[in-house]
Amino acid sequence: MFDIRWIRANAEAFDAGLARRGAAPQSAALIAIDERRRQIIAELNDAQEKRNAASKRIGQAKAQKDEATAQALMAEVSTLKETIQQGEAAERAVEAELREALSVIPNLPLDDVPEGADEAGNVEYFGQNGTAETAARVRPARPVFDFAPKEHYELGEALGQMDFEIAAKLSGSRFVVLKSDLARLERALGQFMLDLHTTEHGYTEIQPPLLVRDDALFGTGQLPKFEEDLFLAPHAGSRVALIPTAEVPLTNLVREAILPAEDLPLRFTALTPCFRSEAGSAGRDTRGMLRQHQFDKVEMVSITTPEEGVAEHERMLACAETVLQRLGLHYRVMMLCTGDMGFGARKTYDLEVWLPGQDTYREISSVSLCGDFQARRMDARYRAEDGKPRFVHTLNGSGVAVGRALIAVMENYQREDGSIAIPDALRPYMGGKAMIGARS
């Protein structure tokens, strides 16, 4: 969310940033609303000054026993009170109008974000000062099969451990029931990721609520623009929503707070179920587990200063990459173009894991720098060196999506007989088990 004062002072840059995202200019319309707000405030202040002056003169008139003047002044004060009440109502209305207009405007991209209309404009990223050659040395190689690799749902159903039919009877489409070793493997993946981020990457583990209020959803940008993607329920005379991502409660841990600068950066992680209606995804990825209404994800959130935001973004990307490296999964990193970034992001990296069953890359993590966009919506600040409160910068990223990691492990570690090898990093979480579905 933007500060209208900044927009007034930087109208051309604001509209240019929106143009890079494919959005129409907004500064003129926003400034016009702000002009009306300022005019109402000026008229309100004038009426309040007149009322105060008239009220003072009433006492003077009564002291002089000038009842006629006192009565006239009292009538004037009464009229001014009505004017002030009307002005305060008008001020609230125009402020709500301005807030509503600002709340649906996406964040502005950083200068180094490539321009493009959609995912076709994304570019592969090899790290700061990186090259394709150095990336290839770090990233696990693509597996080579001497048979036609299957997709995860073919493998899971053949094992009798992945059931979409019974899930549909229970809950409808886009749900799955995992059983036996596959259920344990998914649990192992989540625990492995949590342990990695907390013991090696310095994140504090959080177990947040899975139901959040509108204010929290507004703070991270899910409301009002993406209401149709939420699962909402009435609660205590209001409503709550199942979290679409743990980014919502984790980022809101610092809402309406002024943090000591020495406490930054704050780094939080959580393993939670996530719930999305997938309202705009009709017909996409209807087979298997790629696009579910309910899925587990390990989320990372960082709260930092403006000066450290870009460096923290690179650090968070490296944390997510480490997950895939430890699992031996081939992947690439894409820098999203202006037309493919999320609503609240200034810059986003997507990690795309190789799925041999589909013979393509699919997103498994998205790591975003949001600047002060969310902090303004949450009123989350820190006390700078000069003693003044300033807005923090927020970042979020998947570390990583557990369901998609399960898919990737199944497809990349499959054997011709339909069994699945377990990556070394996960075997301690599987009781030492090295294979799922191996024939004796």
Tokens describing residue 277: 């209606």
Report whether 103 belongs to an annotated binding site: no
Q: Is 366 annotated as a binding residue?
A: yes
Please calculate the CA angle 6-263-314 and round it to the nearest 5 degrees: 70
Q: Which residues pair with 232 in a beta bridge?
A: 241
DSSP 323-339: HHHHHT--EEEEEPPTT
Distance, CA of 99 to chain centre: 20
Q: Which residues of 397-427 are buried (b: 16+ CB within 10 A; e: fewer)?
A: bbbbbbbbbbbbbbbbbbbeebbbbbbebbe
Antiparallel, parallel or unpaired: β 435-436 and 420-421? antiparallel
Q: Would you put residue 285 in left (φ > 0), alpha (ψ -120 to 50) or beta?
A: left
Q: Are 298 and 269 in contact (CB under 8 A)?
A: yes
**Does 277 appear as a known binding residue?**
yes
173 is in an annotated binding site: no
* Residues 6 or more apart whose Cβ sits within 8 Å of residue 276: 229, 230, 231, 244, 293
Q: Would you say 186 is a known binding-site residue?
A: no
Could you confirm whether 291 is annotated as catalytic?
A: yes
Catalytic residue among 36, 187, 255, 291: 291
Determine if residue 299 is labeled as part of a ligand binding site. Answer: yes
Active-site annotation holder among 21, 267, 276, 346: 276
- Residue of 366, 368, 377, 411 with catalytic role: 366
Choosing from 321, 352, 404, 411, the catalytic residue is 404
Is 245 a known ligand-binding residue? Answer: yes
Q: Coil, helix or strand for 381?
A: strand
Q: Is 38 a catalytic residue?
A: no
The pair of structure tokens assigned to 211 is 């139901």
Does 252 carry a binding-site annotation? Answer: no
Residue 364 in marked binding region: yes
Q: Is 302 annotated as a binding residue?
A: no
Angle of helix 27-63 relative to helix 11-20, nearest 10 degrees, comes to 140
**92 is an active site residue:** no
366 catalytic, yes or no?
yes
238 annotated as belonging to a binding site for a ligand: no
Q: Which of 363, 376, 415, 419 is catalytic?
A: 363
Q: Residue positions in the annotated binding site for L-serine?
A: 245-247, 276, 299, 396, 398
* Catalytic residue numbers, as ranges: 276, 291, 363, 366, 404
Q: Residue positions in the annotated binding site for ATP?
A: 276-278, 363-366
Q: Residue positions in the annotated binding site?
A: 245-247, 276-278, 299, 363-366, 396, 398
